[in-house]
Amino acid sequence: LPHTNQFRFLDKAAIITPEDQVKPDGSAANPWKLCTMQQVEEVKCVTRVIPIWASGIIYHPIVQMHTYVVFQALQSNRHFGKSNFQIPASSYIVFLMITFTLWIPIYDRILVPFLEKVTRKEGGITILQRMGIGIGLSLLTM
């Protein structure tokens, strides 16, 4: 990996100090005290991924919402009116799909043209902004 200037404070792990012992082949006698530049750059790569990983942790419960719908339906009164007819718990996911089916045309035909007028950009807002707003709204619904 090529050297990067981001997270330069991690480069100190590869600096040989007087108390570090080095083997004749150039490797560290104690790898916990002295690292190679390759190891430092690998740690930098992992550190750059942490924000993406953290947002995935937040998003995981949102993805699992489909299972919660069935669980909540099992705990609720599913009888339709005063009749003996009981709505199956697994069919509650249909309500979620109906919501998506109604929302997509509203978003595509009303919200996007409005955002295009406001921002004066094609598509209204960027995909990254859409993702951020979506994750934020999902967190609000939790």
β-pair partners for 79: 86
**Helix, strand or coil, per DSSP, at residue 86:** strand
pLDDT tens column, 10-58: 998 888 887 777 888 877 777 778 888 999 999 999 999 998 888 777 7
The reported pLDDT for the residue numbered 5 is 92
The reported pLDDT for the residue numbered 62 is 67
pLDDT tens column, 59-104: 777 677 677 788 888 898 888 888 888 888 888 888 878 988 998 9
Alpha-carbon span 134 to 100, nearest angstrom: 13
